[in-house]
Amino acid sequence: MKLLVTGGAGFIGSNFIHYWLEKYPDDQIINLDLLTYAGVLESLKDIADNSNYKFVKGDIGDLKRNRKLLQRERVDVIVNFAAESHNGRAMIEPDIFVKTNVLGTQMLLEAAKDAGIKRFHHISTCEVFGDMALDENKAFKESDPYMPKTPYNASKAAANHEVMAYFHTFKLPVTISHCSNNYGAYQLLEKVIPRFITNAIQDQKLPLFKSSHNKREWLHTQDHCRGIDLIIRKGRIGQAYNIGSGVEKSIEEVAQAVLKRLNKPESLKTYIEDRPGHDRRYLLDTTKIRKELGWESEIDFENGLDQVVDWYVKNENWWRPLVGRGFIENYKYVKREK
């Protein structure tokens, strides 16, 4: 089987490529990535010489080039990770999120339709459903209505609608997965867990939003990759599946856990103003993927965090050159030049 993985130089995309080639060494992967600030080819240097792996620099929104790529390579499956994904940046440059996440996805769908792709799998997020109260006794189901509250959330919800429109209108064989917050190796430092880990290693402050008891559901990226694998191979066409661990931790708890593992003082914590539209809590109901596909989360949070902290401690040569990439102090972004 030949896969086109878009956004494969990003965090989850690079983990997925490693996962797939290790599990299915005879398959072929083409990594299509524009290499924006979030794309790090260094994450894939150990497989750069693999004859079943190829990197192509390109934009998912370039319909003409992608049509040619799919025609030339005879791709069987597209896995679309490519996206702008940082809520803070979306408040500074929301147009980029619409361009990449909505229009880019639509252009990729159009190219897939023309090429007769056997499966188009789209990576989405729990954030399309909005948020819930900290004490609310519920979890989001795949059938729940979308209620996005930030420009990033809204762009991902719109992309989901485009994906399903191509299924209903053009019979494109699509699937969607909504994941909870991922953590793992190769995650860029703008995200909270690697930011906390690398700041603590450097004895720098850990910036927590004042609403530090807001919760997130934490999913190890390897569990996420296994879920995507099952959906591609066994998932029903035209269906969405939630992938979540069921493990919730507040940002305060995450900071405490990181400091404890690195034997750093609590005085490193500092509190900053909440961002606008700061969601309180997300939680996914994973009944569907467990019952239909037999997926279960295998990596518990405590062991997973141990692994991730250890990875960043041992891989300073990967993350040191990335310090400051994509953000400036307090998660504010430098406005791009016009």
| Cβ 148 vs Cβ 101: under 8 Å | no
- % pLDDT > 70, the chain: 93
Tokens of 102: 């909505």
- % pLDDT > 90, the chain: 79
Count of beta carbons in the 10 Å neighbourhood of residue 273: 10
Q: What is the pLDDT of residue 137?
A: 84
| Cβ 75 vs Cβ 3: under 8 Å | yes
Q: What class does CATH assign to 2-187+219-246+278-300?
A: alpha beta
Task: Report phi then psi at 175, rounded to 5.
Answer: -140, 155
- DSSP class of residue 210 equals S
pTM to 2 decimal places: 0.93
For the chain, 338 residues long, give each residue's pLDDT as a single digit of tens.
999 999 999 999 999 999 999 999 999 999 999 999 889 999 999 999 999 999 999 999 999 999 999 999 999 999 999 998 776 777 788 888 999 999 999 999 999 999 999 999 999 999 999 988 777 888 999 999 999 989 999 999 999 999 999 999 999 999 999 999 999 999 999 899 999 999 999 999 998 876 656 788 999 999 999 999 999 999 999 999 999 999 999 989 999 999 999 999 999 998 877 655 556 778 999 999 999 999 999 999 999 999 999 999 999 999 999 998 765 444 444 443 43
Q: What tens digit of pLDDT does each residue of 87-141 get? A: 677 778 888 899 999 999 999 999 999 999 999 999 999 999 998 877 788 899 9
Q: What is the pLDDT of residue 84?
A: 87
DSSP output for 122-180: EEEEGGGG----TT----B-TTSPP---SHHHHHHHHHHHHHHHHHHHH---EEEEEE-
Q: What is the pLDDT of residue 338?
A: 36
What are the residue boundaries of the structural domains of the chain, listed by start?
Answer: 2-187+219-246+278-300
* Paired strand residues for 207: 270
Q: What tens digit of pLDDT does each residue of 1-25 get? A: 999 999 999 999 999 999 999 999 9
